[in-house]
Structure 1
Amino acid sequence: MARLILFNKPYDVLSQFTDAKSPSPRATLSDFIAVPGVYPAGRLDRDSEGLLLLTDDGRLQARIADPRFKMDKRYLAQVEGEPDEAALAALRGGVVLNDGKTRPARAERIEAPDLWPRDPPVRFRKTVPDCWLSLAIREGKNRQVRRMTAAVGHPTLRLVRWQVGEWTVDGLAPGEWREVEA
């Protein structure tokens, strides 16, 4: 039976088990998860937080990570400024990035979610407002959500992946994980 682990990846942690590229070691998955034979299904950038799925089943890993299977990935993004309806419509229609146009996203403005504090905290500026968006995408271009929000004039300040398919990070503190049925 396939193993499936839900992990709340903290900010500044690599989505891999080793860090061979850095002369000074950076935090990796091995600092949190000591389960042999599991590997990330997809990835989260070092400066992103939230749900990372790990499995020991290659077919399940491909099904989760491959855009052909159209598994929704929902993000909560704190962005600079206050996107108007035109910016949200652009996200919903797909945004042209330097590597092509994204698929349409489900995008809406939301109230600030009740999340764990980030360490280090997001820089606060009195003169620049910010707000939160919920974005659901079905593909995974490199740094896609950050590039999409920047393309519509609202750079991302904090990015939390909240959900992948039916699985959510709800109830997991940063650095915590639990095994679920695959």
Structure 2
Amino acid sequence: MAELIIFNKPFQVLSQFTDERADRRRATLAEWIDQPGFYPAGRLDYDSEGLLLLTNEGALQHRIASPRNKMPKTYWVQVEGEIPDSAIEQLSQGVALKDGVTSPAKAQRIPEPDVWPRTPPVRHRESVPTSWLELTITEGRNRQVRRMTAAVGYPTLRLIRCRIGDWTIAGLQPGDYRRETVHLPRPATGRGKPGTGGKTGRRNQSRKRRTKKA
């Protein structure tokens, strides 16, 4: 069994317990979480908010964070301007970035979600409307969502991660967390000796039978 912390990371908090930069002090996870042995499974940008998972088990950390597992991550994104269907379609099909074309995403326009006010608030301009979309991706490139919306002409103003796999921030205010136990599947075992596969074990038995006949 593994333990998991489901944390709603506030805006402008590092996804780590210490800040290596000595020139300025930034908030870290240590100000909210005092649970020895837990480490983030993946990361969430300093200027992004929402779901961050932490665990005390390496196998679970790998399962969540490894790009090979393609665990879906869902974001609520406030963008500058009223995003049209054509831009939503581009996000859904994949967007050309400097490090290559992104995998197809699930993208849809949504009403403004019922979330906490951000501190400090997003800059408001009367002449420039904003809109919200829900975006689900399975990759983990650096600042990927922000780069995707900028690439289709609608810069991100606010970014909230609301879901990773089956875990969500439902019921959690910024800085709150809850713990749960995760049952990991048992690793498969071979039929041969410890440290060998089943086929190797059978080959050794065949050699013994041939030796006796000789």
TM range (shorter): over 0.9
Q: Distance in 2 between matches of 1:178 and 1:15?
A: 17
Q: Distance in 1 between matches of 2:67 and 2:93?
A: 18
Aligned to 1:38: 38
Aligned to 2:107: 107
Amino acid across the alignment from 1:140:
G
Aligned to 2:194: none
Q: Distance in 2 between matches of 1:67 and 1:90?
A: 22
Please, what is the CA RMSD of the aligned residues? 0.8
Amino acid across the alignment from 2:69:
F
Aligned to 1:170: 170
C-alpha displacement of 1:83: 1.4
Aligned to 1:49: 49
Q: Distance in 2 between matches of 1:168 and 1:136?
A: 13
Q: Does 1:21 align with 2:42?
A: no
Q: Distance in 2 between matches of 1:22 and 1:95?
A: 37
Aligned to 1:10: 10
Q: Distance in 1 between matches of 2:27 and 2:64?
A: 24
Matches within 5 A, 1:2-151: 2-151=2-151
**Equivalent residue of 2:13, what SS?**
coil
Q: Distance in 1 between matches of 2:181 and 2:128?
A: 44
- Between structures 1 and 2, the one with greater helix share: 2
C-alpha displacement of 1:22: 3.1
Deviations 1:1-56 (A, max 9, x none): 21100000000000000002132321000010000011101101000000000001
Identity in percent: 62
Amino acid across the alignment from 1:60:
L
Runs of 4+ off more than 6 Å: none
Deviations 1:83-116 (A, max 9, x none): 1111011000110101111111100000000000
Aligned to 1:159: 159
C-alpha displacement of 1:173: 0.5
Q: Distance in 1 between matches of 2:21 and 2:101?
A: 31
Deviations 1:100-141 (A, max 9, x none): 111111000000000001000000000111000000000110
How many positions carry a matched residue from both structures? 182
The more displaced of 14-23 and 48-57 is 14-23
Amino acid across the alignment from 2:61:
Q
**Equivalent residue of 1:125, what SS?**
coil
Name structure 1 gaps, 5 residues minimum.
none
**Who wins on radius of gyration, i.e. which is larger?**
2
TM-score of the aligned structures, taking structure 2 as reference length: 0.84
C-alpha displacement of 1:172: 0.4
C-alpha displacement of 1:180: 1.3
